[in-house]
Amino acid sequence: MKYVLGLDGGGSKTFAVVVNEHGDLLGKGVAGHGNYQNSNVRIGGALANYKAAILQALGEANLTIEQIDFAQFGLAGADREKDFRILRPAVASLGFRNWDIVCDTYEGLRTGSRDNVGVVLVCGSGTNAAGRNPAGETKQIGGFGYLFGDTAGGHHLAQEAFRAACRDFERRGPSTSLRQKIASYYDKRDMDEVLDHYYDNELYHTHLDMCKLLHEAADEGDEVSVRILECMGRELGIAANSVIYHLGGFDDMDIPIVLVGSVIQKGRSKFLLQALHEEIAKEHQTFHLVIPEMAPAFGAALIGMDQLGIHVSQSIEEKFISYGGYQ
């Protein structure tokens, strides 16, 4: 029997799973932040969280590190060679015989593409885009923040929602139901009291819950909220087209566009998805959108199974979906 460990080290938590070659979940473990770039974590803290999640998963599986045939790590912050020079020695210290690291973006691709080919768009708290063509070539676009061209992700949506409410209150922008929704969220009468709260406490970033309010307002017909979500959909579509352009090799292929991250997988805004589809269709006619249902850690496990030459059947994928996430 072969055993695979898949670990998803993300910005909010680390989730590890141990599975066998039949796709049976033997153990799982959860720990804190897995992105070593987080100023409050760094490599020492991230490594400690990897260890904690791994030991918990191995304990449930009643296995040791030596019994794991392949350990696949999908890590936030594994973007450039500089990052890998930091991460490789840390992961090597864990003691696995066979292991590999990919950016967590690529485990997202594997959750929605059986042959691990296509484009993946990440829209969680932040954003990223990447792809792999049939020749095995890869390309990442974005993922480094607003200064470097990114205009998507939950933090960006939350900021745009808050800005729209401020501009409505100050008559610098159109009327939007976000104004009252945000005021009510903070248990205030109107945005002037919300602004005083921000100014008095020197707050310069708003809460991700503004995303939920934005989706709610859009579903109720608020035009400002609809436009914000459509704008993000177009931005994600532009990123997908950029990945396809830079990679090439997708000629005459029905390209899977895998959509991962909480904004898409939980929000599923029809306005965002429609705008995304329309933007990609401007340059490509043969593609389809895929919203995966399995947790990213199982995407890492799938890559590990690929590394071992294990055939991943539909029944294995269905098992991984049925296991849910880390809750």
Which range among 12-21, 39-48, 79-88, 111-120 shows the weakest confidence by mean pLDDT?
Answer: 39-48
- Residue 195's contacts (CB-CB under 8 Å, 6 or more residues apart) are 166, 169
Residue 126's pLDDT is what? Answer: 85
What are the CA-CA distances from residue 293 to residues 10, 254, 264, 288, 323 (Å)?
A: 17, 20, 11, 16, 10
Q: Which of 37-41, 214-218, 308-312 has the lowest average pLDDT?
A: 37-41
User: What pLDDT sits at residue 144?
Assistant: 86
Q: Where in the chain is the domain with CATH 3.30.420.40?
A: 3-97+293-322, 116-292
Task: Give the pLDDT mean for 255-279.
Answer: 95
Instruction: Write out the DSSP string of 184-236.
Output: HHTT-SSHHHHHHHHHHTT--S--THHHHHHHHHHHTT-HHHHHHHHHHHHHH
Output the six-digit token pair for 17: 């799973």
CA distance 128 to 259: 11
- Please provide the DSSP assignment of 99-136 as one string: EEEEEHHHHHHHHH-TTS-EEEEEESSSEEEEEE-TTS
**Looking at the chain, how many residues does it have?**
327
Taking the alpha carbons of 278, 223, 216, 185 in that order, is the dihedral positive or negative? positive
* CATH 3.30.70.20, applies to 116-292: no
Note the pLDDT of residue 327: 60
Tell me the pairing of strands 14-20 and 25-31. antiparallel
The three-class DSSP label of residue 299 is helix
Mean pLDDT of 80-92: 96
Question: Measured between alpha carbons, how far is 240 from 228 in angstroms, rounded to an integer?
Answer: 19
Q: Is the pLDDT of residue 118 over 70?
A: yes
Residue type, 59: G
User: Residue 252 above 90 pLDDT?
Assistant: no
Both tokens of residue 88? 């490789």
Q: Do the Cβ atoms of 122 and 128 come closer than 8 Å?
A: yes
- Tokens describing residue 104: 């967590």
CA distances from 147 to 103, 105, 143, 165, 263 (A): 21, 20, 11, 24, 21
Which pLDDT score, from 0 to 100, does residue 29 have?
A: 97
Superfamily of domain 3-97+293-322: ATPase, nucleotide binding domain (3.30.420.40)
38 pLDDT band (50/70/90 cuts)?
confident
Please state the φ and ψ torsions of residue 252, each to the nearest 5 degrees.
Answer: 60, 25
Q: Which two tokens stand for residue 295?
A: 């947790």
Q: Percent of the chain, pLDDT > 90?
A: 90
Average pLDDT estimate for 299-326: 95
Cβ–Cβ < 8 Å for 170, 147: no
